[in-house]
A = this chain, B = another copy of it.
Amino acid sequence: MNPLKWLSDEYFDLNGLYVDVLEEPPTALEFSRLAHISRPVLIKGFEIPANSKLWTDEYLIQRMGSRSVSVAVTPNGRADAIIAGPDNKFYFTEPCVEEMTMANLFANLSEDDRSQGSETYYLQSQNGNLYSSQFFEGREAPSEFESLRGDVPSEISWCSQALDRTPDAVNIWIGDGNSVSSIHSDPYENIYTVVRGEKLFTLLPPTEGWCLNERVYPHASYVRDPDSSQLRLQPSAEAPRVRWSSITDPNLPGALCDSAHPIHVVVKSGETLYLPAGWWHHVRQSGITIALNWWYDIEMRGPSWVLLEFLRNIKDVPDGNEKTKHNEEETAQ
């Protein structure tokens, strides 16, 4: 018996593809129960000052003025993804981060698909760009988005009360349909609100992570060549290797083995997704999309953490650039 296959089948048999939909935000007690169940929930009616009517391009550009923000730039819309380098080896590749004004960012986003070849811009700094853990510790915590803080509560009362903690990071995300987030999981409870546009999540439970064929890859970054002004992939000299799924797009036919049961959730403007810690997610977006997320540390004392650790460590992770017996077996499955 493959214990990982057995477990994922068992979990699927019990829970299927069910995603709860709430017509209004939960109470703290209700959300505590949902966090214990640890399945995705689509929440409607969670209202914050930042909403699609207020957060027009013009409003954001005006509020941010000449302040610069850190934007991820890639030649292909794939930041933090496995990309073949000039030596044909695969690298976990971080984006080129460039500073620009909000006006400049919006000038580079599109509601439509663009012609190939142009660069893709995605504000995805995800370092607590609105509120960081320092902020919650009461320390000095400057933010690139200081002037938008009035529109975004630093914490969500029903979530903070349920989890008995403040967030670890609150982020703003601004991008368009050219950006895709490769499938990965985070050790955080995630409350994800879409302000404008829509996000298309492909989700897998932690138990199906073994279907994603994780590998370890050398690290690289996109850098802008000073001569050509073009982006090129540059392997990192010293960065540690990165563990990442070798599956580029879980939505392609045959990409996943039979034991994987992806769940598709569209989160529209004004809607909020509870994405439980450890759930795998691949994210696309439709048109110019603005989102906010609150990351809360997972409860490390309980079975959720134990299970995630077990699933993460029960198997060795092969090298992504070596054709090993292990890799061949997985491909043959």
In whole angstroms, what is the CA distance A15 to B309 when docked? 14
CB–CB A29/B161 < 8 A: yes
CB–CB A301/B29 < 8 A: no
In whole angstroms, what is the CA distance A307 to B207 when docked? 10
Selected from B3, B33, B302, the residue in CB contact (under 8 A) with A37 is: B302
Q: How many of chain A's residues have a CB under 8 angstroms from any CB in B?
A: 36
Q: Is A35 positioned at the interface, with any CB of B under 8 Å from its CB?
A: yes
Q: Inside 8 A of A7's CB, which chain B residues have their CB?
A: 306, 309-310, 313
Selected from B11, B39, B161, B302, the residue in CB contact (under 8 A) with A36 is: B302
- How many monomers of this protein are in the complex? 2
In whole angstroms, what is the CA distance A226 to B71 when docked? 87
Q: Inside 8 A of A46's CB, which chain B residues have their CB?
A: none
Q: Inside 8 A of A313's CB, which chain B residues have their CB?
A: 3, 6-7
A286 to chain B, nearest CB (A): 30
Q: Is A10 positioned at the interface, with any CB of B under 8 Å from its CB?
A: yes
Q: Is A186 positioned at the interface, with any CB of B under 8 Å from its CB?
A: no
Q: Is A125 positioned at the interface, with any CB of B under 8 Å from its CB?
A: no
CB–CB A302/B29 < 8 A: no
Q: Inside 8 A of A11's CB, which chain B residues have their CB?
A: 306
Q: Is A332 positioned at the interface, with any CB of B under 8 Å from its CB?
A: no
CB–CB B309/A39 < 8 A: no
Q: Which residue of B lies closest to A14 (CB)?
A: B300
Selected from B32, B161, B300, B303, the residue in CB contact (under 8 A) with A303 is: B303
Q: Mark A291-333, 1 if CB is under 8 A from B, else 0.
A: 0000000011111111111100110000000000000000000
In whole angstroms, what is the CA distance A163 to B303 when docked? 16
CB–CB B162/A29 < 8 A: yes
Q: Is A38 positioned at the interface, with any CB of B under 8 Å from its CB?
A: yes
A94 to chain B, nearest CB (A): 29
A165 to chain B, nearest CB (A): 10
In whole angstroms, what is the CA distance A278 to B32 when docked? 20
In whole angstroms, what is the CA distance A272 to B53 when docked? 53
Selected from B28, B161, B162, B303, the residue in CB contact (under 8 A) with A307 is: B303
CB–CB A309/B10 < 8 A: yes
Chain A contacts with B in 10-37, Cβ cutoff 8 A:
10-11, 14-15, 28-29, 32-33, 35-37
Selected from B6, B32, B310, the residue in CB contact (under 8 A) with A162 is: B32
Known A10-B309, A32-B32, A162-B32; contact A301-B3, beta-carbon cutoff 8 A: no
Q: Is A58 positioned at the interface, with any CB of B under 8 Å from its CB?
A: no
In whole angstroms, what is the CA distance A205 to B310 when docked? 15
Q: Inside 8 A of A29's CB, which chain B residues have their CB?
A: 28-29, 32, 161-162
Q: Mark A223-241, 1 if CB is under 8 A from B, else 0.
A: 0000000000000000000
Q: Is A47 positioned at the interface, with any CB of B under 8 Å from its CB?
A: no
Q: Inside 8 A of A309's CB, which chain B residues have their CB?
A: 7, 10
In whole angstroms, what is the CA distance A32 to B162 when docked? 8
A282 to chain B, nearest CB (A): 21
In the assembled complex, 12 residue pairs joining A and B whose CB atoms fall closer than 8 Å, in A order, are A3-B310, A7-B306, A7-B309, A29-B29, A29-B162, A33-B163, A35-B36, A36-B299, A36-B304, A37-B299, A37-B302, A207-B306
